[in-house]
Amino acid sequence: MTDDETAAATERQLGTALSLRVQHLRRAQNLSLDGLATLSGLSKGTVVAIEQGKANPSIGVLCRLAVAFSLSVTDLLGASSEEVSVGPIERTNPATLWKTPQGSEAKLEASTSGRTMFEIWSWTIVPGDVHRSDAHSRGTRELLSVVRGSLKLTVGSETMTLQAGEAARLVTDQPHSYAAADDQPVSFSMAILERGEET
């Protein structure tokens, strides 16, 4: 099996698992399709496509669904530990949520659950790959710090290039993207604070 075929098979498995999980959570919380669409800020068509396993949701869409259900993204995907923390420290398991055959990846290192979600990510993007994200919920903030290489980031119509050792604050409630700015891979860390839509 080629890298592309493996990636496609993984996407199909994720799509099926997400479809069943979203259906279960929506029914458990007594939400209609319209209700989930309103809570998540997604269109009803997108929610229907996800439940039918016909969508390949972006990280931004996963974040919106997680916030709507007051879960972390890892909880939404069913990738969280079965152990329940009763103390002030809870171990989490990183989850790779975006990967390309060329070697780019985005790994969710840890996240909180609830209507306000805080996440820590680590990213590597190789030259030629671009990660495009849909708009997050209104007012979502990101903090980026470039560890190695050069990062080209675009938010709406504004573009900026950051070098290793540089950082930036972003408001990502509009479409945005990340890419290597030159012929070397770029690695960066990211923290996201996203609040659920007002109901």
70 and 113 Cβ atoms separated by less than 8 Å? yes
Do 53 and 122 lie in one domain? The reply is: no
Which pLDDT band, with edges at 50, 70 and 90, does 81 fall under? very low
41 by DSSP, 3-state: which?
A: coil
Does some domain include residue 36?
Answer: yes
Q: For residue range 138-160, what is the model confidence (pLDDT) as tens digits? A: 889 999 999 999 999 999 999 99
Mean pLDDT for 120-143 is: 94
Does some domain include residue 85?
Answer: no
Mean pLDDT for 168-184 is: 96
In the predicted structure, residue 83 carries a pLDDT above the cut 50 = no
Helix (DSSP H) and strand (DSSP E) numbers for the chain: 5, 10
Does some domain include residue 82?
Answer: no
Q: What CATH number is associated with residue 36? A: 1.10.260.40
pTM for the model stands at 0.77
> In which domain, by residue range, is 107 found?
95-195
